[in-house]
Amino acid sequence: MDYLILFVNSWLKFNFAFIIYVGMKILIALTLFFIVNFSFAQSPELIKLADYMTGSYSSEAQHKADTANYFDIRLQIIRIWNNRSDGYWFYVEQAVAESLDKPYRQRVYHLTEPAKGIFSSEVFTMNQPLRFANQSELLEKTLSPDSLIEREGCAVILTQINKKKFSGSTEGKKCPSDRTGASYATSEVTILQTELHSWDRGYNKKDEQVWGATLGGYIFIKKK
The DSSP code sequence of the chain is -HHHHHHHHHHHHHHHHHHHHHHHHHHHHHHHHHHHHHSS---HHHHHHHHHH-EEEE-HHHHHH-TTT---EEEEEEEE-TT-SSSEEEEEEEEEGGGTTS-SEEEEEEEEEEETTEEEEEEEE-SSGGGGTT-HHHHHHH--GGGSEE-TT-PEEEEEEETTEEEEE--TT-EE--GGG-SEEEEEEEEESSEEEEEEEEE-TTS-EEEE-SS--EEEEEP-
pLDDT-based confidence at residue 117 (cuts at 50, 70, 90) = very high
Domain limits of the chain?
1-39, 44-222
pLDDT at 78 over 50: yes
- CATH architecture under which domain 44-222 falls: Beta Barrel (2.40)
**pTM assigned to the model:** 0.81
pLDDT band for 185, please (50, 70, 90 cuts).
very high
Least confident range of 24-33, 126-135, 161-170, 201-210: 24-33
The answer to whether residue 22 scores a pLDDT higher than 90 is: no
